[in-house]
Amino acid sequence: MQASSLSITFLGTGTSSGVPMIACSCEVCTSVNPKDKRLRSSILVESAATSFVIDTTPDFRQQMLRINNTRLDAVLFTHPHKDHIAGLDDVRAYNFFQQRAMDVYANSLTEEALKREFAYAFADKRYPGVPELNLVTIDESPFDIGDITVIPIRVWHHKMPVYGFRIKDFTYITDANRIDPADKEKIKDSKIIVLNALRRAPHISHFTLSEAVALVEELEIPEAYFTHISHQLGRHDNVNQELPPYIRLAHDGLQLTV
């Protein structure tokens, strides 16, 4: 049974380098506006009964401490790139306090990367205290995490297939630069979409700002938020002034109800 109401918290809205970027003195990286401080991209999805994150970034520990999160039922992965999986080790704190393994939902490609990057967690003889992980293999079929139904949406990150996810009338897509027509149909009629918009200049594997705006308009979605943002895009407030009123840049800590 699908949860009646969901809370979405943006744990991070930055690209792989984060914002500010190390050693950069541009106007975005030196901005004093808190909305220009972006940890790597991830969200927390919560119903009254279920709580899970989409992706565990290198900033996962900091993100969960920042919102004082004390419960997590599962992790759901979009794809195996380092900026989306690197923080998985820190779920061991939840293992300890919740006294159970963490359910980890991922496709076979991402599972291979997890077993490679965190080999110690999957070894036959494991050192005490390593993460306890229960892998759940997903494909493009809908599935449930607790009382939340998730519909995978295949998108393309250059040549890599990546999963976006639709949950009720909310669609979350990061690390994409192309979506096939059949998967666009899965997105249509969403009331809210989150979409990556890396920068203004063309990129081999991410939507630009103009491409992201065009896709929102093509799909006729009434409310949109952009994420996975680099320092090259510009200051948060300045970019928002350029956008239509129904499209905003997301920022760390933003909360939505769906």
What is the b/e burial string over 163-196, where b = at least 16 CB atoms within 10 angstroms of the residue's CB? bbbbbbebbbbbbbbebeeebeebbeebebbbbb
pTM value?
Answer: 0.97
Low-confidence residues of the chain, pLDDT below 50? none
User: What is the number of other CB atoms lying within 10 angstroms of the CB of residue 244?
Assistant: 10
Smallest CA-to-CA distance from 181 within 160, 199, 204, 155 is with 155
Rounded Cα distance, 175 and 164, in Å: 9
- Per-residue model confidence as pLDDT tens digits over 136-152: 999 999 999 999 999 99
- Per-residue model confidence as pLDDT tens digits over 35-79: 999 999 999 999 999 999 999 999 999 999 999 999 999 999 999
